[in-house]
Structure 1
Amino acid sequence: MPTPTTSVESGKTYVYPDMVRQNILRMIPPDGLVIGSIGCGYATTESVLASQGREVHGVDLSAQAIEVAKTRLASARVVAPDEGMPFERESLDGLILADVIEHLPMAWNRLSLFAEMVKPGGWVVISVPNMRYCEALGTLICGEWPEHPTGIFDETHLQVMTHRRLLRWCEGAGLRLDRWFDAYHYSFYKRNICRVVNLASFRLLRGFMVFQVMGRFRRI
């Protein structure tokens, strides 16, 4: 099994952990046989879908990660950072965008192109960092924004993401919200404190309590 590594394609450094992301899998609906994943990395999460008999295809910037992904998916290939439509138009039943679009310039335009690859009625699952998360707001109050290798403060992020901004982008791309998924901090204490506050507020404070913005959308 590969160990977490980094890739420096296009002058940027990305961390590629080799682990199954259960928070992504829970968003995948039962329908959809042909699935694409942009930024698949080692395709560890996508390999679970492949083991279920789904036809999964992945693309990524890292040649090293793709060599592993090829052994796990129906196909996997390296793409250029500016490749607008890595899969054919309306060729997919579903598309995974797991922590990808926050790294893209003019990401709202790229999302519109990505949506065209999905058949009408097909789904798109999206995960991005929540920049309204209470910890992130604390740094803004202090007048600082750190650069970290991963997480909300990932130094490679180009976009400031919130629920409302992602929803606006998706509506502009012809995607209808199916449902939001709550994703809390990995720390036991932070996770449970934020969960209690979120539920106690009947999710009115969701925008400040969840660590990531995670949603499933359907192409209109």
Structure 2
Amino acid sequence: MLTVDFDRFPVPEGTRLLDLGCGGGRHTFEAFRRGAQVIALDYSFSDVRDVQAMLGAMTLEGQAPPAGRSAVVRGDALALPFADDTFDRVIAAEILEHLPADTAAMAEIARVVRPGGWIAVTVPNRLPEKVCWSLSSAYHTVPGGHVRIYRRSELRERLRGVGLEPVDTHFAHALHSPYWWLRCLVGVHDDDHPATRLYHRMLVWDMMRRPRVTQLAERVLNPVLGKSIVLYLRKQSNQEATRAVR
């Protein structure tokens, strides 16, 4: 399930891409399939290990163009182990809401992307997230859980403050919001409750089949109930930065 729209966030073959906080690797795998030179970074040993195994399997099965390259790194979003201006693209999907020092992570993202490069940032959308917080404290008080709820305008301005210019935005995954509300109601860690199992089965069916009715419903509902905010941003080129100073 992709949150970043790769039609809005083009990744040509040979693009140097960092998937920051890669988690299970969903965006890493899509970028690799498109022929990117992708680095998947996460703080979790298990996530890094699992993503590496999947990338190896994809390579053996020829699922990426010849230009595709991949590597995995265990690292800290607050101190990225890369030189300035290393990447053409950076994806930071559902990570900033976990970090107390999120401004430092934003600055690191801006540092490692090249001038003129593109960034995709996703975080939970305010309204669905507030519902989850009100229904269950366990949803956000677990170790490594969400530490804040963003307003879209606030997120945009804070990213602009580290030198990243917003270009486009949208909401995603409206059909996933009721699933999380259900989990919060019946027990956020209860994977076996009949209600959530049934809803999860529907979500899997939707992701596999992509029927028109659910695609239409999501497009209509996303502006209100979309589970995630997605921002696309661009780092100013050196010439643009010089003109801005003048």
TM-score, normalising length from structure 1? Answer: 0.71
2:228 match: 212
For 1:189 and 1:106, how far apart are their aligned partners in 2?
29
Q: Residue by residue, what CA displacement relative to the aligned partner does 1:59-110 show, whole Å, maximum 9, x if unpaired? A: 1111122122224162112124x64223321000000100001111121232
For 1:154 and 1:44, how far apart are their aligned partners in 2?
25
For 1:77 and 1:94, how far apart are their aligned partners in 2?
17
> Which of the residues 109, 114, 118 maps onto 2:113?
118
Residues 153-172 of structure 1: matches in 2 within 5 Å?
Answer: 155=142, 156-172=145-161
What displacement does 1:214 show? 0.6
> Which of the residues 14, 25, 49 maps onto 1:67?
49
1:41 match: 23
Alpha-carbon contact 2:100-2:147 (below 8 Å) kept: yes
For 1:188 and 1:166, how far apart are their aligned partners in 2?
20
Q: Which structure is larger by alpha-carbon Rg, 1 or 2? A: 2
Show structure 1 runs of 4+ deviating over 6 A: 188-194
Aligned residues with identical type, % of pairs: 20
Alpha-carbon contact 1:98-1:127 (below 8 Å) kept: yes
What displacement does 1:56 show? 0.1
1:146 match: 136
> Which of the residues 52, 62, 73 maps onto 1:77?
73
Instruction: Pick closer, same or farther for the CA change 1:188–1:59 going to 2, 3 Å.
Output: closer
Greater helix proportion: 2
What displacement does 1:58 show? 1.2
What displacement does 1:127 show? 0.6
Greater strand proportion: 1
Gaps in structure 2 of 5+ consecutive residues: 56-68, 180-213, 237-246
> Which of the residues 1, 4, 10 maps onto 1:29?
10
